[in-house]
Chains A and B, each alone.
Chain A
Amino acid sequence: MTALLRLTRGFGSVVEGEAIVSDEGFSPRYDLDRWSGVITKPGHRLEGLSIKDRICFFPTAKGGIAAGWAFYDIQAKGIAPRAFCFGVTNPVMVQGAVLAGIPITEGWAPDPRTVLRTGDWVRVDPGRLVVELLRRAV
C-alpha cells in the first residue's frame, strides 16, 4: 500500500482507526473533558467531538504538563484515542503517550490537512513511519 504520509519519528505499535484531522493544536488539559473524551474548550475547532478510539492528527501541541498523567488516565478510563499524530509535538505528549502505551508520531509530509479528511479510515505505523489510507469517509 502506498504511504499517504511519511512521518519523522514515532513510538508504539501499528493501529488502524478513523481519523480526526484538526486545524488547531491540542492539550488534554486545555481542551479535553477527561471524563468523557470530548473536546470541550469553547471555540476549539473540534469542540463537541470525541477523541475516543480515533487517530488524532494535530498540527501542534499546546503547553501544559498534564498530558504526562492525563493520557495514562484516559487510557485506563477507556476513552483514549488509538494514536496521536502531531506535526510538531512537545516532550510532555511523548512522555504521556509512552507511559500510557498510546502510539504517537511527530513530523509529517505532506500536511494531512491537504490529503486527509475527518472520518477517513487510516493505518498508522510508527515503526515504518508511515500513515496509509484504507478507505475514504462516506
Chain B
Amino acid sequence: MQLSATEQAMLDGAEGPAVQRALAYQVKVGRFFGAARMVPITNAHMMGDIEVLGDAGLAFLQDMQRAGALARIPITTNARCIDFAWADRLGQDPSECAKEREVIAALQGMAVMTTDTCINYQTLYQPHLGERVAWGDTGTCIYANSIFGARTNFESGPAALAAAITGRTPEYGFHLDEHRRGSFIVDIAGATLADLADWGALGKIVGEGHQSYYTVPVFTGFRRTPLADELKQLGAALASYGSMGMFHFVGLTPEAPTLEAAFGGSVPRDVERLVVDDAAIELVYAGYDLGEGDARLVVFSGPQLSLFELRDLGRLFEGRRVAPGTAVFVTSSNGVLSAARKLGYLAPLEAAGVCVLEGVCFYILQNLSQMREREGWKNMISNSAKIVNIIGAHRFRTILRRTADCVEIACTGRLA
C-alpha cells in the first residue's frame, strides 16, 4: 500500500498517538482488501451506542479521546439504543443509560456530532456524484453509492471514526469503478410497488437470492418516479438481505442513465435477468404467519421515518386508538420529530397511543430481549423489510405487512 509523505508521518506518530493508531488500523484493513492507497474523504457517519459497543467499546472510545483523537472532517452518529425520555418506561437499565451518556460525552469530546439518525442522507448531508465519504449503517451506504453516486464502503463504527480522525479511508470496494458496475438485471415492469413495504419486499427477493457485498443489481422497467422514502426501503432491504452496497435504477440513479451505462458500457450477453412482478411481491407477504403467537407489537422503524412518512402515518392513525394490550412504536430523529411536532403530525399518533421514540431504532434498543420477555411479545409486525430481517437475534418472529395493514393490526389486535 502506497502512503503519501503526510500519511507516513501520521503513521510514524507526527500527529500524535490517536492519529497514529487510527491510520495503522486503516492500513491493516486496506491491506486485507489490496487497497493501493488512502483517499481523502469529506464526511463520515458512525454507529456508536452502548448496546453494540459494550464496556470494551466504551473503554476504547475513552482511550481514543484521552489520546487526543479529534475528527478533522464532519462526522455524525447513527441511531442509538436509548431515548432517555423513555428509558424508565421501557425498563432499560439505569447503569447502561449512564454508560450511554459516557459514550455520548466521549464522542462529543472527539468532535463527533451526535445527531443519532440513520437517515442522514435525507436529513443531514447529501454528497454529490463522485464524492468520497465514510458512512456506516448499511442503509446509508447503499443510498450514498446508488442514489447520490457518492463513494463509500460499509464503514463500521471504529472504521468511520478512524476515517474522521485521519480524514482518509483505504481505496477498495465501492471506491473503485470496477465494483460499481451492474451484476444482473431486475425487471420490475410488472410490479406496482404502491406501498413502502412493497419496496422492502422487492429488496428481500433480490437480496436473499444474491447475498454478496459486490453484487450490484440493476433495476429496470419501472413506470413512474420512485420517491426517496421508497428508495430508502429498497436500499435498506438490499443491504440487509443481500449485504449489498450499491444498486442502479435505470434512468434514475446518476451512474445509470441507460441500461448499458449501468453495466459500464455494454450489457453482457449472458447476464442474469430476474423478473419481479406483483405476484412475487404477494408471495413475500404470504410467507409470514402468526405461528403460536399473536399480533400485539407493531413497529415503524429501521430506518427512522422521514417527515413525509410521519405525516402519512398520522393520517392513518387519525381518530383511532391502538388496541388494548398492543404496543406500537415509531422512531425518528430529533430534527424530523421537531418538525413533525411543529406541523401537528405527531398529535394523532400520540392521541392514538403510539410510542414515538427519538434518536433510536427499535431493533437496537438496550434491553430489547428482556423487554420482549417481560411483555410476552412473540411476533413483531412492521412495514420495514429490513427490521423484519434483522431483529431475529432477539428471538422475535417477524411479519412484514403494508403500512395501512400495520395500522389496522395495531388498532384491532388482529393480523390483516
Q: Could you tell me which residues of chain B, from 131 to 174, have a CB within 8 Å of some CB in chain A? A: 136-138, 153-159, 172-173
Asked whether any CB of chain A lies closer than 8 Å to the CB of B241, the reply is yes
Interface contacts (Cβ under 8 Å), in number, total 144
Is B52 within 8 A of A94, CB to CB?
Answer: no
Asked whether any CB of chain A lies closer than 8 Å to the CB of B60, the reply is yes
Is B393 within 8 A of A33, CB to CB?
Answer: yes
Is A94 within 8 A of B157, CB to CB?
Answer: no
Is A63 within 8 A of B239, CB to CB?
Answer: yes
Q: Could you tell me which residues of chain A, from 38 to 71, have a CB within 8 Å of some CB in chain B? A: 40-44, 60-70
Is A88 within 8 A of B240, CB to CB?
Answer: no
Interchain CB contact (< 8 A) of B34 among A9, A33, A73: A9
Q: Interface digits, A90-101 against B, CB 8 Å rule (1 contact, 0 not)?
A: 111011101100
Asked whether any CB of chain A lies closer than 8 Å to the CB of B397, the reply is yes
Is A63 within 8 A of B241, CB to CB?
Answer: yes
Interchain CB contact (< 8 A) of B211 among A11, A60, A68, A106: A60
**What bracket does the count of chain B residues touching chain A fall in?**
35 or more
Is B47 within 8 A of A68, CB to CB?
Answer: yes
In the bound complex, CA of A32 to CA of B56 (Å): 18
Is A95 within 8 A of B155, CB to CB?
Answer: yes
Is B392 within 8 A of A98, CB to CB?
Answer: no
Is B154 within 8 A of A65, CB to CB?
Answer: yes
Is A76 within 8 A of B56, CB to CB?
Answer: yes
In the bound complex, CA of A65 to CA of B136 (Å): 6
Which residues on B sit within 8 Å (CB–CB) of A65? 47, 78, 136-138, 154-157
Asked whether any CB of chain A lies closer than 8 Å to the CB of B243, the reply is yes
Which residues on A sit within 8 Å (CB–CB) of B52? 29, 66, 69-70, 73
Asked whether any CB of chain B lies closer than 8 Å to the CB of A31, the reply is yes
Which residues on A sit within 8 Å (CB–CB) of B60? 72
Is B395 within 8 A of A95, CB to CB?
Answer: no
Which residue from chain B places its CB closest to the CB of A27 in the assembled complex?
A: B390
- Most A C-beta atoms less than 10 A away, residue of B158, B214, B240, B242: B158
Given A63-B240, A69-B54, A90-B243: A9 and B32 within 8 A (CB)? yes
By the criterion of a CB under 8 Å from any partner CB, how many residues of chain A are at the interface?
Answer: 44
Given A30-B389, A98-B32: A69 and B213 within 8 A (CB)? no
Interchain CB contact (< 8 A) of A69 among B57, B241, B369, B393: B57
Is A11 within 8 A of B159, CB to CB?
Answer: no
Given A42-B392, A63-B239, A68-B158: A91 and B173 within 8 A (CB)? yes
Is A76 within 8 A of B55, CB to CB?
Answer: yes
Which residues on A sit within 8 Å (CB–CB) of B31? 11
Is B156 within 8 A of A69, CB to CB?
Answer: yes
In the bound complex, CA of A98 to CA of B24 (Å): 11
CB distance from B75 to the nearest CB of A (A): 14
Is A25 within 8 A of B211, CB to CB?
Answer: yes
Asked whether any CB of chain B lies closer than 8 Å to the CB of A128, the reply is no
- Most A C-beta atoms less than 10 A away, residue of B156, B242, B243, B369: B156
Is A67 within 8 A of B57, CB to CB?
Answer: no
Asked whether any CB of chain B lies closer than 8 Å to the CB of A118, the reply is no
Is B25 within 8 A of A73, CB to CB?
Answer: no
Asked whether any CB of chain A lies closer than 8 Å to the CB of B29, the reply is yes
Asked whether any CB of chain B lies closer than 8 Å to the CB of A75, the reply is yes
Asked whether any CB of chain A lies closer than 8 Å to the CB of B8, the reply is no
Q: Could you tell me which residues of chain A, from 14 to 44, have a CB within 8 Å of some CB in chain B? A: 25, 27, 29-34, 40-44
Given A11-B28, A29-B390, A95-B158: A73 and B153 within 8 A (CB)? no
Is A62 within 8 A of B243, CB to CB?
Answer: yes
Which residues on B sit within 8 Å (CB–CB) of A34? 54, 393
- Which A residues are within 8 Å of any B CB, using their own CB? 9-11, 25, 27, 29-34, 40-44, 60-70, 72-73, 75-77, 88-92, 94-96, 98-99, 104, 106
Given A73-B56, A90-B154, A94-B32, 15 more pairs with CB closer than 8 A: A9-B32, A60-B212, A62-B241, A63-B390, A64-B240, A65-B154, A72-B54, A73-B52, A73-B53, A73-B55, A76-B54, A88-B212, A91-B29, A94-B33, A99-B158
